Structure formats: C-alpha cells, structure tokens
Structure 1
Amino acid sequence: MNQAVPAIVRYHIRHDTRYRYDQPVGESRQLLRLTPRELPWQHTCAHRLDIAPEPARRQAFVDGLGNLVETLHFERDHDALFIRAESWVELRQRDLPALADSPPWETVREMLEYRAGRGFDEARLEACGYLFESRHVRVKREFADYAAADFAAGAPLLVGVNRLMRRIFDEFTFDPEATDVSTPVTEVFEHRRGVCQDFAHFMLSCLRSLGLPARYVSGYLLTRPPPGKARLIGADATHAWVAVYCPGHGWVDFDPTNALMPDLEHITIGWGHDFADVSPLRGVILGGGEHEPEIAVTVVPEDEFHTLYGSAELPGLQPA
C-alpha cells in the first residue's frame, strides 16, 4: 500500500556562512537573501538572523523582483564574519497542472512577442522580463537547436518543458568539480557537466532561446541520507531550479537536476533572471586579503528536529 502524502509539511532550515579573513576588514557592506518567500503554498512560520560581529546598521527591504533582502553595514575592524539564518517553513501540497492542458508552445511565444500597439496585462508584462539574456544566461541558436527536439510543432508548452528537463537530467552529469560560479553556460553545454546552478542556467538558456519566458529559482531541497546513515548537521546545500510562465497556470517549476516538478521538498528563497539576482550573500569589503566562505546548510523535517539537535531550544523559532 502506498504511504499517504501529507498535505502540509514543516521544515527547519539552518544556513551558516563563515568568513575567516587573512587581514582585518575595516569596512564591509553585505546583501543577504536568506528569508524564504511567502507563496500560496509556502509560509514562513519564523525566521531570524544571528550575526557576529554585530553590524553598525541593518535594513530590510523587498527588491524589484519581490525577494526579501537584508543589508548589513560593518564599520569596525574584524577578522571574521559569521551569519546564521534559521527558519521554520510550512509547505502545502501544490496543485500541479496537467502538462497536456497547457497551450501550444508557439502560441505562448507569439503572445509575448513585441508588436506595435500591443498591450500586456501585469502577468504577461512580468513574464516578458524573463525572455532575454542575463549575466549567466545566453540566448543563442545552439541552445534553441538543442531544445527543438523536445518542442514539436503544436506540442503543449509544459509537455515540451518536461521533456527538456528530463533530457538534461539524462545527458548531463552532476559533477561539483567541473564548474564554479564563473563558468559560462556555453562551457557547461560543451562538457555537459556541472551542478544544479549550471543545469538551471542551461535550461533557461534553452527556453529563452526559443522565445519562452523562464526564471531562475533559488532555495533549498530536502536531501535524504544514505540507507543506514544518520542525517548530519551542515550536510545539505542551497539548490536551484527553473520556473516557466504558462498562460492559464502562471509560473510552473521544473527541477532539471532531479527530473521532477518541485512540490513538498523544495523550499523557495527567491527568484530572478539568474543566480546573480538571488545570491544568498554578496557584498564589498575594505581589506580582508584572501578568503573563502565556509557554508553549511541543514534542512530537517519537523519530526526529526529533536533527533538531530537534541533538546535545543530556539527562542522565537518554534513552528507556529
């Protein structure tokens, strides 16, 4: 008998970032995107940041893409920086669309093409912003040619996107040593190796090269330890996938790293044109010398929290 899928699940997320600097940092400004978004299927029950040293100033705002951002300004010398973001997040099962019920992909492309005198409603105008090249996404014939095999004439949009996602999963190899954050998407295509960020950028390049709007989604994924092994603190990572605009259904998520449509195990932090729009932490510093961040992420279901953390008390961070 198949086990029933719960309609609501809760997760605790801990995201630690630590910098150890070779030389003192005299001044630093940081932008943090570590707060989960409020969505019809996702609710942040509690969230907090622990920061050492304490910043001189902090300010929270919502960026132009609707992501929650916190700015930190450090004005005194420091030789290390530690930021811990902790959240309790509740997910509800999504109403995933029937792929075959989506409109033909050419219809979607044509309805978003620029024509003199044509007006767009708010949703379509937003979608048009995700049709173009960005820092990590290219619009090129070679990407359109690769994707064409999955988009036959008259094929429903979401059927084509699903086929493209599964082909990337089948033909590309997950290899953390193959790329870094600066590796161009053309090189990812050439070697067909990379990580979730690379696969998301490649899938976006394919879709936008066909004239279809798609955006980069950043968040977390519940991972499962090997059979017989315990879940470990800090053993997870941030994750990336894509969302495609489909008239009648809105934005629909696809995860090419795992060949599935995100539901109850994907926690959304934010979205943008590519990774540069939703980097968890980025900033500028005066001084510091050589330094690399140490990042540890832990995603744990509510019923495993005390098994992992013992009797830890987290004031203000118990699930609602």
Structure 2
Amino acid sequence: MFKVLLGVSRWNFLSLTVLTIALAAVTARYQGAEIQQLQLGLVLLLALCAHISVNAFNEYFDFRSGLDLLTSRTPFSGGSGTLPQQPAYAGVALLLALVTLLLVIGIGLYLTWQLGGKALWIGIPGVLLLYGYTQYLQRSPLLCLLAPGVGFGVLMFLGALWALGAQLTAGAGVIAVILLLLCSNLLLLNQFPDVEADRQVGRRHLPIVWGLVPSAKLFAAFYLLAYLLLALAVWFGLLPRFCLAMLLTLPVFLLLWQRINKALQHNADLVPALALNVLLVHLCPLLLLLALYWSNTATV
C-alpha cells in the first residue's frame, strides 16, 4: 500500500515544490520579513498536498482513460506505471487525491482567515487547477502550456510569499515569471514522448497541435526569455547582482538544446534531454535562492 501511495504521488517530483517554497522563504527573508516556523510549515504542507493531489488525480484519470496503457514510460513521462501494474488500487489513488485536496482546502481556509478574503484569489484558482488539469486543461494548448507555470510560479510562489508576510513587489513578480517559464518548460518537454498516445485520448497540448519542432523552438524561447528577464531585473535594480549567478546555467541550456535538436533530427532517445531539463529547472531557482540568501536585506 505504501509503495502504491508513493508511486501515485510521484514523490520523486516533489523536490520542485520544496525548492519553490524555500525560494519564497528566502525571498521573504531578503525583504526583511520575520518568518514564523509554524507558518512556513503550514505553507510547505499545503504546497506538498497540492502537488500530491494533482499528481494522484493525473495518475487516476490517465489510468481510467486508458492512456497509461498506450504510453511508453520514461523516468520523466508516461506516468508512474503504478496503476497499470496494480489496477485494484485505482480507488486508493483517487482517495489520496481527494484527501490531499481537502487538506489543501482546509489549510487554505485557515490562511484566508489569517490573511483576509483576498487570499481566495489564489486559493480558488488553485483548487480548480488541481482538479481540472488532467480532465479539462489538457484539451487546450494554451491552458495546458501555462497551467504548470501558473501553478508553481504565480499561485505557489507568490501565494507562499504573501502568507509568509512578504510584499508582492516587482522583483518578486520577476521571480514568479521566471518560475512560470521554467515549470511550463518542464511539462512541455515531457509531453514530447507521449504525443501519439495523448492524441488517441483526445488531448490537445502544444506538441500535438503545433508539432515537435515548433514546440521545441517555443521551449528554447521560454528559457531565453527567463534569462533576459533576470538580466533586466538586475539591470533595473529589482534583484541583487548575485542573482546573475543563474546565468551560469546557460551552458547547460545550450547542451540541452543540442540534445533536443539531435533527438528530433535523428529520431533518437529524448530521455537524456528530459533528464537535463529536470536538472536545469532545479538549478535555476536554486541559484536564485542562494543569491538572495547571501545578499544584503533589501526590498525586492
């Protein structure tokens, strides 16, 4: 049972949630906010429950639609394979999704009581995103593209920042957009190996509608835009100069782009590119986190 819960929760992908909340906490500290450990713990628990819920819903609905039987699984795409191997536990996956969703709602209502009714502008879209991502948003190329980025960059990062007592400043907004671009790119590339299977169950994400090569160009544009936004934010004083450390990942991006092109041109295995993309999506916010941690307190 425990192994099933770990599988459908996709526990190995939860590191990005922890990193996002840690970045929010360090950003709040950089602004001079006094972070309460209990509040930080609640925010982290809410974020982890949200990520587990959307993963479990995704596992359940993909199993029910038959998609899991059509995909060629990789460590980064095609589902965990838990339910096709143990179909009797499909109800457990749905129960995990619902329980964690209820925890998200409960903690969210408590934070709304603390912060005021405006917090619902983050909470309500967040709940709709958790439930609707697999069932509805994957039928719209634009919504499917932006949903992961909005979930992590806007709802999770900015929501955590607000709950921790920090200000939603222009610098924080830049970080949120960078996270949006990175996290949308993470899911975008992971869709490449599943195009034919996804098409059969009625999904209409960007690689299906545009094709792989145009989608890859947009993928590259998102990374370049993230680097450009960072440079401009430092230039205009919205972020400290130490944040330019994120530019150290440019060689990793160039290697990633080379591997994607090679895979598409020669119909080669995309797994090395998928792995490098996961690494890059983690490295960028980690370097921002370290840069803000070592910078002097200021308004960002």
Instruction: Normalising by structure 1, report the TM-score.
Output: 0.25
Structure of larger gyration radius: 1
